[in-house]
Amino acid sequence: MKAAINAVSDVVQNRPRPLREFDQIYMKSGDMVLQSELVARWADGKRLAFIGDGDAISICVAYLHKRGIIDYGPSEIVVFDFDQRICSAVTRFADKEQLDILRSHNYNCLDKFPGPTDFDCFYTNPPWGASNDGESVNVFVQRGMEATGYAGEGMIVVADDAELEWPQRVLANIQRFALSSNFFVQKMMSMLHLYHLDDAPDLKSCNLVIKGLPGNKPPSESAPIADPQRLANFYGKGLAPRVKYVIEKKRLDYGKAQEGEYSFELLEPIK
């Protein structure tokens, strides 16, 4: 367990700072350890696509396996994310630790899915859709389904709280969308994870696992999503998408404090 926590700590150190306006809110480290083991077991020997991954579960899964801390894991992992900083964090870590099975692709999920569409499974922890009844979740889920040619499995990480109304509406709408796409709910693992979320520190998320029905086929060709009703409140109330990609400003000193963050009050000169 100590080796696993320290490995996840390496990954956390490599993560870019979250951009709250795009609902980047990172999972707490203890929950990342358990979630990574669970994802590695679920996707053992399979090809796995991440539709967005600020949390960096993809890196943890590949790293824990490579280091021999767990002896199972996916055969290939590709992260599709619109934030270049997150894609670079994946590439930087994969290069440094020689994680040959891990790579990233800069992609906005409003655009057509770039392919390939023969992944065995997908994972997404999307914007949770509190202000759009989960429509934003369904956009990410749709891209995940496309990644598997509508024939694979998906793990969807969304808010789960029995006291609040909106997470229940969101969960119902995701399941409705899954059923309408000929997927069914295999299992739901309730209230597992906590986040660095100042205004709701106790809000938990669940894993909702879905699977395409045998013989399921893609309904139509992948298309961009441009329906204003689907996009209104995508990242929260009044926050429709306006950014295609988050562009990274390159830094050499990744993981270290930047000069703008501090100044020095000097010691008196020694006489």
Is 97 in a helix, a strand, or coil?
Answer: helix
Rounded to a whole number of angstroms, the minimum distance from the CB of residue 244 to ligand SAM is: 8
Q: How far is the CB of 71 from ligand SAM (least distance, A)?
A: 27
Cα distance between residue 135 and residue 191, in whole Å: 21
Q: Is 81 in the site for ligand SAM (CB under 6 A)?
A: yes
- Rounded to a whole number of angstroms, the CA Rg of the chain reads 19
Should residue 29 be labelled a site residue for ligand SAM when binding is judged by CB under 6 A?
no
> By CB under 6 A, how many residues form the interface with ligand SAM?
22
DSSP letters, 54-72, are TT-HHHHHHHHHHTTSSS-
- By beta-carbon proximity to ligand SAM, the closer residue of 52 and 144 is 52
Provide the residue type at 77 as one letter: I
Task: Indicate whether 52 belongs to the interface with ligand SAM (CB under 6 A).
Answer: yes
50 forms part of the interface with ligand SAM (CB under 6 A)? no
CB of 163 to ligand SAM, least distance (A): 21
Query: Looking only at residues 112 through 141 of this chain, which bind ligand SAM when binding is defined by CB under 6 A?
Result: 125-127
- Residue 152 and residue 244: Cα distance in Å, rounded? 28
Report how far residue 12's alpha carbon sits from residue 28's, in angstroms, rounded to the nearest whole number: 10
Which backbone phi and psi does 102 adopt, to 5 degrees? Answer: -110, 130
Which residues form the interface with ligand SAM (CB under 6 A)? 18, 22-27, 52-55, 81-83, 86, 108-110, 125-127, 241
